[in-house]
Amino acid sequence: MRENRLRSFGLRAASILTLVVLWWAGSRLMGDPKVLPGPWRIAQTIFANLTTPGPEGESAFFDIAITLARIFVTFSAAMLAGLGIGLAMGLSRIVERSLLALIPLLLTMPTVLMVFLAIMWFGYSEAGGLAAVLVVVTPYVAVNMYEGAKAMDKSLIEMARTFRASRRLLLRRVYIPQLMPYIFSAFRYAFGMTWKIVALAETFGLKYGIGYMFSFWFEQFNMAQVLAWVILFVILMLILEHAVFARLEARAFAWRPSHSF
Amino acid sequence: MEGVDLVAEEGQFVSIVGPSGCGKSTLLNIIAGIETHDGGSVAVAPRAGAGSSRPHIGYVFQSPRLLNWLTVQDNIEFVLEAQKVGRERWPGLVTKQLDLVGLPGQERNYPLNLSGGMQQRVAIARALAIEPDILLMDEPFSHLDAITARKLRYDLMEILERARPTILFVTHDLSEAVFLSDRIYMMSTKPARIFRRVEIDIPRPRKPDDAAVFDLERELVREFFSVLEGPA
């Protein structure tokens, strides 16, 4: 187990390193830092952005904080809405029938289009970003929760009823643990969608934030800065994904005989 | 289902034997109160000396039906909490039942780390932990391989010598029923009804290869086939 984890970590590190080397070789071949700056140059730019005030008078930490706050708020709202709707669909036939036709409609809507629509309706405001995330992410979470509720093991519910478990005990010990895998898979996917939408909304309309900095430097045609912000963003999201979610998940599923993440 | 009258005395091991589809499991579910019935009545008297007025019903299913995300201990405590048993009694009850079913020290293990036979032992411990007035068992060994089932059947005898609950045991396996029971009710299909009641007084402890067990089984099998197939 331990050896396996070490090996998989080594493989991952090696493949990322290969990519960086290819990038470096490409930039050397190209020979024009305006088109493809090398990795070292980008690392320096990121460092400078983090330590010195940018074009709006704030360092990159400010934009990171803004983006993370937007992700956190919109993600929480979409998760809560999706959990509620999905469970209601799983537990009530009326809700199930009325929403089942609606959800595929929302799921097929192209994400970029939703961001544009939200900005047209709500203007360049925080509400626009929130609306876009809610419309795109909520149906996905709801579908996952709905499937989780449907897949619950009826024989365990029957067992609990035989032993006269109260509704609360049933929820705590039987329902929620069975929903956990669905909650987590919805959680991860929804998080991935949320940060993409927030970045998109920032790029197109919102003031401040990492996406806003993309578009700012894009308009200046500054390749080094655009790449620096993109890579900073990716690193940030990878850290969140692995340091936070993977750990939570490993803890929640400790009961599985051989879980590997 | 009609004409199904059966009585189990306190501390008695009563089996209901019949082919699949005769409604044996439905009968247990009606007694457990998780399936409704439209006629007839079920009465379970609390054990002598038991304080509560509502009878405690333990249930061992065909498959263990354990909550795999909870430790063995938490699985047993789940039913203790469900039955509102005082929390101060939990540790003692858990240890006692696990010792009884031959799984001492497994409190912190998770069900999926246990073999099928051990999981079923936990299920038995769980059902016994609530000190049931009646213990319902629905073909509890039918999902196990023959050797594990035989061992567990034998151990169940010993467990019951010590715990002594009243048991209603459903099976389609006549030799199992003869080996374990004090009384057998034999059921037929279409219509589902009890056609025979057999009292078994083969002295305990019995051995699975007891000649008396064999003889009785053979006699009952013959009788079963004559009823199921009707007059030739």
| b/e code A108-121 from CB counts within 10 Å (16+ = b) | eeebeebbbebbee
What pLDDT is recorded for position B205?
A: 80
A178 → chain B, closest CA residue: B69
Q: Do B57 and A257 touch (CB under 8 A)?
A: no
Overall pTM surpassing 0.90 (yes/no)? no
Residue B148, CA distances (Å) to B116, B117, B119, B121, B181 in order? 9, 6, 12, 11, 20
A179 → chain B, closest CA residue: B69
d(CA A232, CA A53): 16
What pLDDT is recorded for position A207?
A: 83
Contact in structure between B215 and B26 (CB atoms under 8 Å): no
HSE, CB side, 13 Å, CA atoms: give it for residue A187. 13
Residue A208 DSSP one-character state? S
Query: B170 - beta bridge partners?
Result: B16, B138
HSE, CB side, 13 Å, CA atoms: give it for residue B150. 6
Q: Do A155 and B68 touch (CB under 8 A)?
A: no
B34 lies within 8 A of chain A by CB = yes
Contact in structure between A46 and A228 (CB atoms under 8 Å): yes
Per-position DSSP letters for A97-164, written without gaps between them? HHHHTHHHHHHHS-HHHHHHHHHHHH-SSHHHHHHHHHHHHHHHHHHHHHHHHHTS-HHHHHHHHHTT
Mutate one of A153, A156, A159 to test the B interface: name it (highest B CB count within 10 A). A159
Chain B residues in contact with A183 (beta carbon < 8 A): none
How many residue contacts between A and B have a Cβ separation below 8 Å? 52
What pLDDT is recorded for position B16?
A: 93
What pLDDT is recorded for position A259?
A: 47
- Which candidate from B32, B33, B110 shows the least CB-CB separation from A255? B110
- Which candidate from B34, B63, B81 shows the least CB-CB separation from A169? B81
Q: Do B69 and A255 touch (CB under 8 A)?
A: yes
What are A72's two structure tokens?
A: 């956190």
Q: How many residues comprise chain A?
A: 261
Backbone angles phi, psi at B59, to 5 degrees: -140, 125
B71 → chain A, closest CA residue: A255
Q: Do A255 and B112 touch (CB under 8 A)?
A: yes
Chain B residues in contact with A171 (beta carbon < 8 A): none
SS3 string, B211-224, reads HHHHHHHHHHHHHH
- Which candidate from B61, B71, B82 shows the least CB-CB separation from A169? B82
Cα of B75 to nearest chain A Cα, Å? 9
Enter the ipTM: 0.87
The residues in B 89-118 lying below 8 A from A, measured between CB atoms, are 110, 112-113
Cα of A99 to nearest chain B Cα, Å? 31
Cα of A250 to nearest chain B Cα, Å? 13
Q: What is the mean pLDDT of each run of 10 residues along chain B (232 residues)?
A: 76 89 83 78 67 78 94 96 92 93 92 94 94 92 90 88 88 91 88 85 82 88 80 52
Residue B113 DSSP one-character state? G
Question: B135-178, pLDDT tens digit by residue?
Answer: 999 999 998 999 999 999 988 988 888 878 899 999 998 989 99
Backbone angles phi, psi at B159, to 5 degrees: -55, -45
What pLDDT is recorded for position A82?
A: 92
Q: Is B186 helix (H, G, I), strand (E, B) or coil?
A: strand
Q: Do A173 and B113 touch (CB under 8 A)?
A: no
Residue B38 DSSP one-character state? S
Q: Do B34 and A158 touch (CB under 8 A)?
A: yes
Chain A residues in contact with B30 (beta carbon < 8 A): none
Residue A111, CA distances (Å) to A118, A129, B29 in order? 11, 12, 50
d(CA A97, CA A92): 9
What pLDDT is recorded for position B38?
A: 73
Q: What is the mean pLDDT of each run of 10 residues along chain A (261 residues)?
A: 76 90 90 86 91 84 92 94 89 86 84 85 85 90 90 92 91 90 88 90 86 90 91 88 80 68 38
